[in-house]
Structures are given as C-alpha cells and as structure tokens.
Amino acid sequence: MTDNQTQNEWQQCRPGELSRVASTLRARHNRRQAFAAFGKAAVAVSLIMIAVVGVQYLQRQPGGDMHFGGISCTDVRGQAGEYMAGNLAPDISERIAAHLTQCPMCREFVEEMKRQEMGTGSAGSPSPSTVADSIGFAPPDRGAGSGLTRVWRNGRLIAVATN
C-alpha cells in the first residue's frame, strides 16, 4: 500500500464537521442520562407510594378500624371520656395520645367531646351519644317506633331494643 492510496481513501473533513458530530453525541448522551434519571425517580416515587399504601393497609384492623399508637380507633373512642377525665393508666393515656396525633377522626371525636363538655358548663362528661351523632359515629336513627334506643355503656355507644 502506498501513501497515494491511503490519501485517496480518506477525505478531509469540512470545517466544523467534527464539532457538529461531537455536539450531536453530547446531546444524545445527555438525553440518555436524563431519561435514566427520570426512570429512577419514577421507580422511587412508585416504591414510596406502594410503601405508604401498604403501611396504611397493615394498620387497619379487621372491621376497618385504624390502629395507631398501639391502640385502635374503637378503643380510643370507647375510652375517650376516661382519657379526658385523666382516669386511665399512664401507659394507656400515652397510647391514646399517640393515636390522637396520627388519627384525624379520633382527634376530631375527642375535640368534639371537649367542645360539648365546655358547652354544658358542668364538670361532668358530655353526652357521648350527642358527640357521636355530631361527627357521624352513631348508628342511624331508626325512626319512631323502631324499638331501638341509643345507650352509652362502658364508654361505647350501643343500640338497645326496647318495647
């Protein structure tokens, strides 16, 4: 092979040709990195969403009760009067306080009980059935003659059949 043949196979680049090729390759590389970063972010967000939904699912007790602070919503609502009066053991009071920081429904229930208590002007507890009615925890009214009466027993709202 001679020098003359080598020169014929290679052609000289036009001015700016290498710069254009380098610029195109840089842009392609940057796009690929951006898509890779976006894909990683999308996967991370998806995993976080799955974790949040999973934690919420695991916190539910059978029957749809939420379980925060080591105590269920049903137990918090049932002991709300004693909690407000300070009649509970310290460990149960701490669990209820932790539950109330995380559960908006129970927090609203206790706040409504406090408002009812302040509204009555007495040192006694407010009517739990009134509190339950005001925020939707009571069973629906069956109407006149249904034979059901709302009764609060042991800190729980129940319906008792009457004649």
pLDDT in tens, 120-154: 544 455 455 555 555 555 444 444 445 555 555 55
- What is the three-class DSSP state of 149? strand
pLDDT digits (tens, 9 = 90+) for 3-46: 555 556 778 888 999 999 999 999 999 999 999 999 999 999 99
Same domain as 52, residue 87: no
Is residue 84 domain-shared with residue 117, that is, in the same domain?
yes
Whether residue 121 is found in the same domain as residue 103: yes
User: Are both 57 and 86 inside the same structural domain?
Assistant: no
How many domains are there within the chain? 2
Predicted TM-score (pTM) of this structure: 0.40
Do 78 and 115 lie in one domain? The reply is: yes
Considering the domain boundaries, does residue 52 fall inside one?
yes
Triad 147, 120, 77: Cα angle to 5°: 60
Tokens of 61: 């007790």
CA distance 130 to 139: 12
Domain extent at residue 89: 69-138
Q: Answer whether residue 85 is part of any domain.
A: yes
* Residue 73 and residue 55 share a domain: no
The per-residue DSSP string of 104-116 comes to HHHHHHHHHHHHH
Do 61 and 74 lie in a common domain?
Answer: no
Both tokens of residue 81? 């009067």
Same domain, 115 and 84: yes
User: Residue 45 domain-assigned?
Assistant: yes
- 52 with 101, same domain: the answer is no
